[in-house]
Amino acid sequence: MIRKPNKVREKLAKGEAVIGTVSYSWSPTIVEVAGLAGLDFIRIDCEHSWRQDGMADNLIRAAALTDIVPFMRIDAGSPFLAMKALEIGAGGIIAIDIETAEDAKEIVRQAKFPPIGKRGYSGQCWSGAWGAKGGKEWVEWSDREQMIGVMIENPSAVKNGLKSLKELRLSS
């Protein structure tokens, strides 16, 4: 994501609807077409189709070219996937199978820089312009603009008391 305001965040803050789609394809053309069609976001599914190679970078760049916000749906259980998705420029992440408030808070800790979270710093990435635009402004932009979503996919989450993200008092 090129460092600019996240249009999905802006529209939601105004109470406006956002429209998007999901892609399991690793073709940048699919992302480009979604952007050119005027969609606000595309969810790139990495849970069921993660390649863990350079293709994710190409999808993010295609999103930047066509002004569509890319969200990456990431696997649970790896503390580094959130950071990696955000550093290649995803406009946000969607964490799967969240069952407790602590699970949701842990995703936030992984995705946000101190003092909010525990994400390690390296501006040597695409969203940090390979260090040319890293630093304090990049950290502040990352914490402010990149979004975090969680998926509650199991009835045990409700049994565990996870009924609403408002209960968690998360700002992302």
Ordered per-residue pLDDT tens for the chain, 172 residues: 567 899 999 999 999 999 999 999 999 999 999 999 999 999 999 878 766 677 899 999 999 999 999 999 998 777 788 999 999 999 999 999 888 888 888 999 999 999 999 999 988 888 888 989 889 999 999 999 999 998 888 888 777 765 555 555 544 4
pLDDT, residue 172, reads: 45
Instruction: Answer whether 23's CB lies under 8 Å from 42's CB.
Output: yes
The residues near 105 (Cβ < 8 Å, ≥ 6 apart) are 168, 170
SS (H, E, C) 31-82: HHHHHHCCCCEEEEECCCCCCCCCHHHHHHHHHHHHCCEEEEEECCCCCCHH
pLDDT, residue 102, reads: 87
Place of tokens 């565990």: 160
pLDDT, residue 63, reads: 96
pLDDT, residue 151, reads: 87
Backbone angles phi, psi at 92, to 5 degrees: 180, 170
**Which tokens hold the place of 27?**
């073709």
Q: What predicted TM-score, i.e. pTM, was given to this entire model?
A: 0.86
pLDDT, residue 46, reads: 85
- Using CB atoms within 10 Å of the CB of residue 130, give its burial: 0 to 12 exposed, 13 to 18 middle, 19+ buried: exposed
Domains annotated on the chain, with CATH: 7-162 (3.20.20.60)
3-state secondary structure of 21: strand
pLDDT, residue 100, reads: 86
Strands (DSSP E) found in 75-161: 92-95, 147-150
Instruction: Answer whether 79's CB lies under 8 Å from 71's CB.
Output: no
